[in-house]
Amino acid sequence: MIAAALVVGMASGPAVAHAASAPVQAQAPAPASAVSGRVAPLVSTPPNAAALQAAIAGLGPRHRDATAALVRVGGTAGRWQGSSGVADVRTGRDAVEQGRFRAGSVTKAFTAAVVLQLAAEGRLDLDGPVRRHLPGVVPDAYGGVTVRQLLDHTSGIPAADGPGDSFEAQWEHRFDVTDPRTQVANAVAKEREFAPGTAQHYLNINYTVLGLLIEKVTGMRYADAVGARILRPLGLHGTSFPGRTEKRIQGPHNRGYQAIPKADGSRELRDVTEWNSSDRWAAGDIISTTADLERFTVALFSGRVVPQAQLEAMFTVPGVQDFESGKPAAMTAGLSRIVLPDGTVAWGKSGGRHGYNTAIGATRDLSRTLVYSVNATDAKGQDMNPVALGVIMAAFTK
């Protein structure tokens, strides 16, 4: 039950299905104290250090689910930071606590923030057709798709073709260089999955189109636009985009591994650290650190990255159903709504690249924040990584 409550918001993959009811708005503030008249924080207790330490204990080459983990918990009630495991299973050296890692779909929060900035500047209309800016990219068949529908995955554009979902298929193509325009052309040549705005299907293609939109409106390369608007102003010096041909993680980092079952029942930990992420681009190729992602999360939720009027899009879930499960939608513009077992609502974004599971999350009032990178041995698996789940539960325990 705990896993189900969290996976709705933290795991990537769901979709959509029927017509919309009213959007789910951001969580209402906690009731004011009768004594002070102030709004009570959603989380008022310090981080549970013992629970957090236990959640990441014993990681390494013999652990079933992860070889390393980096965790930062913050907020108004206190802070905790820790690491566990090894940076390299061959040498056994300790995990690099300030190491860089592939943050996967956490990239979408950065992409969404830039799009919302451009909307605040009047350079694009969230409810206007994206084809207005990209007539040569988005065909007439998708002429009704709006910028907002790309942001919250309600566009109906299907996924682009790829090498397949299996690890071995992706491993064989790990160094392929992918062009975003080719991906979009492949996707929009297909029939739409549903009428725009009537369902939600979490797909990278939406943010690939948004990356092209950012380039068209700003006249800059996607990575340069994010750098100028977010990375440099916030001093995120450990965050970067690898570029279309880069396969390495530059700077200190913990290596990532995929567990491969062997015929004798044992397993091989295959090193998956070097991988070209151009197929994810504006949807998932960012490299970062826990310190940088924490700073970004606090600045974002505080309204220092996106103006408050536009920021509400990141805390508003469209009132539609998931295309695949039929459950209520959970994704917003760049984030997702996460309901914890005790009813506390948090907002965040997870990301998975082979060897790396990452997430940012916080309560709306920033009374509790969480950033983690777990070197999961099945980072793209269907189920949520048990170490990551343990970290979330420990971080938000009151």
Rounded Cα gap, residues 260 and 171, in angstroms: 12
Q: Give yes or no for residue 117 having a pLDDT over 90.
A: yes
- Give 253's DSSP letter: B
Which whole number is the average pLDDT over 149-172? 95
pLDDT score of 398 = 79
Q: Does residue 28 surpass a pLDDT of 90? A: no
pLDDT band at 29 (very low <50, low <70, confident <90, very high): very low
Task: Please state the domain extents for the chain.
Answer: 2-395
Is the pLDDT confidence value at 16 over 50?
A: no
Kindly state the tokens that stand for 55.
Answer: 């959640």
* 124 contacts: CB under 8 Å, gap ≥ 6: 115, 118, 133, 147, 213, 217
Among 105, 240, 277, 278, the active-site one is: 105
Phi, psi of 169 (to 5 degrees): -65, -40
Gap between the Cα atoms of 212 and 160, Å rounded: 15
| CA separation, residue 351 to residues 39, 169, 357 (Å) | 32, 20, 6
Q: Would you state the torsion angle of the CA atoms of residues 62, 356, 201, 153, taken in this order, to the nearest 10 degrees?
A: 160
User: How far is the C-alpha of 211 from the C-alpha of 222, rounded, in Å?
Assistant: 6
398 vs 334 pLDDT, higher one: 334
Residue 397: predicted pLDDT: 84
Give catalytic status of residue 105 as yes or no: yes
Top-tier CATH class for 2-395: alpha beta
Alpha helical stretches, state H, the chain? 2-10, 49-55, 107-120, 147-151, 167-172, 180-188, 204-218, 222-226, 232-234, 281-284, 290-301, 308-311, 386-395
Q: Which residue has the tokens 């190729």?
A: 285
Distances from the Cα of 372 to the Cα of 40, 61, 102, 221, 332, angstroms? 26, 19, 12, 28, 21
Picking from 1, 12, 56, the residue whose alpha carbon sits closest to that of residue 391 is 56
Confidence of residue 100 (pLDDT cuts 50, 70, 90): very high
Burial class (CB in 10 A: 0-12, 13-18, 19+), 339: middle
- Between the alpha carbon of residue 140 and those of residues 52, 130, 149, 180, 191, the distances in Å are 51, 11, 16, 19, 12
Alpha-carbon dihedral 287, 67, 171, 200, rounded to 10 degrees: -60
Mean pLDDT across 256-268: 95
- Among candidate residues 83, 85, 80, the one with its CA nearest the CA of residue 49: 80
Please, are residues 226 and 110 in contact by the beta-carbon 8 Å criterion? yes
Q: How far apart are CA 11 and CA 13, in angstroms?
A: 7
pLDDT bucket at 22, cuts 50 / 70 / 90: very low
pLDDT at 69 over 90: yes
Q: pLDDT tens for residues 269-311?
A: 999 999 999 999 999 999 999 999 999 999 999 999 999 999 9
Query: Are 230 and 110 contacting, i.e. CB atoms less than 8 angstroms apart?
Result: yes
Distance CA 234, CA 372 (A): 19
The answer to whether 67 and 377 are in contact (CB under 8 A) is yes
Number of H helices, E strands in the chain: 13, 10
Cα-only R_g, the chain? 20
> Comparing C-alpha atoms, which of 108, 99, 101, 100 is closest to residue 284?
108
Residue closest to 396 by CA, chosen among 364, 362, 373, 372? 362
